[in-house]
Structure 1
Amino acid sequence: MKVVNLKQAILQAWKERWSDYQWAINMKRFFPRGATWDILNLAEALLEQAMIGPSPNPLILSYLKYAISSQMVSYSTVLTAISKFDDFSRDLCVQSLLEIMDMFCDRLSCHGKAEECISLCRALLSALTWFLRCATFYAEKVKEPLEQAAAENQLKMCLERLEKVLSSTKNRALIHIAKLEETSSWSTVEQSLVKLGENLNNLGSSPLRSQADDCVSLIKSIPTMLSVHSEQLNKTGFPTVHAVVLLEGTMNLTGETQPLVEQLMMVKRMQRIPSPLFVLEIWKACFVGLIECPEGTEELKWTAFTFLKMPQVLVKLKKYPQGDKDFTEDVNCAFEFLLKLTPLLDKADQRCNCNCMSLLLQECSKQGLLSEANMNNLIDKRAADKENSPSLKSAENANIQPNPGLILRAEPTVTNILKTMDADHSKSPEGLLGVLGHMLSGKSLDLLLAAAAATGKLKSFARKFVKLNEFTKQITGEISKSGPVRALLFDISFLMLCHVAQTYGSEV
């Protein structure tokens, strides 16, 4: 059967009961390489077919989940497709859509051009409107005696996901960007809030009412994220810097530092931010991102961003004219201010299981951003503050090595590995196999990739893997001892490349 369109391909897969990975392989065979799945609206096509009946089609939904997990489709197209579903009377379909959102709403990111990042912001705004319509529908159904229990259960699931999305400062910042881009869409959100408010009285004083009120408050706070409310805030708070840093740390770890430096300098000049408060805001944003990021790979990315990339950004900021002022003194002053934010530092220390401030100060000193005397003075002050802080060590995490220390140690290792891979291994590839084997132990690979991404060496890393992969294919049919070694090198380098593409995007 010749496939002529996306819908036909999906129906064929369903009729023949293809598994998810079999479906993905066949889809890539059916369609040309030039068109991306987002351009073909794959996410929308899958959801449209999955939601035809009163309950979702589990097989077609499994295709969508596979497409999300393997990054065949972007988060923005999935959110946009979900926001187009409006038959909230089909409870099982709504539940499935909420479960799909669970897959990625706590780690929204975007690998690509600025336009794609803006698309994610707009899609999140559309999803917010969808959440509000969904909550309004079930809040209205609560007043019907026969529907009350089911409606309350559906409303509970909806509000839990909405609160999860809104509890992230990063997500609210993305929605704020979309609001600035599309004021008409924000008007729709405001109208939806009014309709939801009219139906909240049906909930009485239940926990659901309290949860809904919390969500409404968070939504209403979004337009004021970049506003100045008081003279005090005008002097010390600069949320634009916070938003720029959070966006960069979340979406563009692999990007060059110079564009970020230029963006930050533009904000500094436009808002006339004093240098010490400017640097303070950068570090505050880094620590907030470190505290809020999900565990696993995202945590390693944020750690590398905070402890490796941002000191490099400050080194470039140092080169801009500062008038008569010494930038190192501004950095020292910023850290003095940061020391006063004890709860923030304590929370970061608990999350990372180490003294984050001390490690950051040492890295800044190494980069020439702080004098040794100022560094030691700040470290001593933080040590004195920590005497009254919650204990970091517990029975569970006493043996866990802190990620910041591992990331800082991984950075020079990246350079050494790149040099090792440049050497000629045609005669004795066993040594290289040992190096790659060491990289695969534990979470070493993720640590090294995060360090490479933060220091601008990830593309170099990927090129070396490609070169190694090609090198192992040059000599075929070997009977010598190096034959199995070459086969292993091919497998390992291929899997590493796949992991890099899945974690940081194929454009790397």
Structure 2
Amino acid sequence: MSGAKESAKESSDAVNSEKWPGSLIQCWLAVKLTGNPGSSTAVLAEQLQVLQRLKGFSDSRLYAELMRGSLLALYNVSQTSHESQWGAFAFLKVPHILLDLAAKSDTINVVTAVELMLQHSPLLDAMDANSSCSSLKCLLDELAKIRLLSEPQVKHLLEKRKIPPTLKLDTVPATTGIPKAIIFAESTIAGILKTLSTDYHKIQRQNTV
């Protein structure tokens, strides 16, 4: 009996031992957005909680994996027909998924999640180089709008972001970079996501003809 318990414990440890950053949430996001781009935030939040229980992630780890996974997915489709779709997801939908996952008073876990992301600066550097603006600032500003972060917290986190001196930001018009372009159109988010979902499926059908 003790052998069975030890085996079960080893299996549990293996599931929970994924180091930061992991790949599960990123892969799950790719499957979900490819198969059903119009999934509601509530449905996505529920499924993320299932993955959280499976992996034994803390709340802050789950939030960090979600934000990092969406940004990495956006970076991977840069300059493709899917860039706007992932941009809308990363900067507009992810904050609302986090709002479903966390209470508005749960700012500490959100701050900790962002601090985890700051440990993976090469991704943020690459994102910023592509868009010539601060992807982190765009995301944090959206979190502040829905009161998951306060303005002082946003300022503190941005101060902790060490931008390489060779990286030039804000050298293009405000609506050129994907983060700013998506946020500029935030008032029509529902229509944007619906249109992107429809266009995506049209492209998929054309590719199979």
Q: Using structure 2 for the length normalisation, give the TM-score.
A: 0.78
Give distance in 1, aligned partners of 2:19 and 2:117: 15
Cα distance in 2 for residues equivalent to 1:357 and 1:334: 12
Superposition pairs for residues 70-469 of structure 1, below 5 Å?
234-319=18-103, 327-382=106-161, 385-392=162-169, 398-399=172-173, 401-412=176-187, 414=188, 452-454=191-193, 458=194
RMSD: 3.0
Gap change, CA 1:286 and 1:353, over 3 Å in 2 = same
Between the aligned partners of 2:114 and 2:168, the Cα distance in structure 1 is 23
CA distance in 2, matches of 1:333, 1:501: 36
Find the aligned partners of 2:122 and 2:137 in 1 and give their Cα distance: 16
TM-fit CA distance, 1:296: 4.3
Q: Distance in 1 between matches of 2:197 and 2:37?
A: 13
Q: Is the 8 A contact 1:280 1:338 kept in 2?
A: yes
Question: Distance between the aligned counterparts of 1:343 and 1:500, measured in 2?
Answer: 30
- CA–CA separation in structure 2 for the residues paired with 1:251 and 1:307: 20
Distance 1:275 1:373 in 2: 22
Distance 1:272 1:341 in 2: 21
* Higher RCO (Cα < 8 Å, 6 or more apart): 2
**Cα gap change, 1:298 to 1:380, in 2 (>3 Å):** same
- Structure 2's unaligned 5+ residue stretches are 1-12, 204-209
- What amino acid maps onto 1:330 in structure 2? N
- Give a deviation string over 1:8-44, Cα, whole Å, max 9, x none: xxxxxxxxxxxxxxxxxxxxxxxxxxxxxxxxxxxxx
| Deviation digits for residues 400-457 of structure 1 (CA, Å, limit 9, x no counterpart) | 7112112111121x2xxxxxxxxxxxxxxxxxxxxxxxxxxxxxxxxxxx76344xxx
Which stretches in structure 1 are left out of the alignment for 5+ residues?
A: 1-227, 321-325, 415-449, 463-498
Instruction: Determine the C-alpha separation between the residues in 1 that align with 2:57 and 2:15.
Output: 16
State the identity %.
26
SS in 2 for 1:386: coil
Per the TM alignment, residue 229 of structure 1 is displaced from its structure 2 partner at its CA by 7.8
Q: Is the CA contact 1:362–1:375 (under 8 Å) kept in the aligned structure 2?
A: yes
Instruction: Name the residue aligned to 1:175.
Output: none
Paired residue total: 190
TM-score for the superposition, normalised by structure 1: 0.34
Instruction: Show the counterpart of 1:38.
Output: none
Kindly tell me: are residues 240 and 307 of structure 1, through their superposed partners in 2, closer, same or farther at Cα, counting changes over 3 Å? same
Runs of 4+ more than 6 Å apart: 228-231
Q: In terms of Rg, which structure is larger? A: 1
State the Cα distance separating 1:500 from its structure 2 match: 7.6
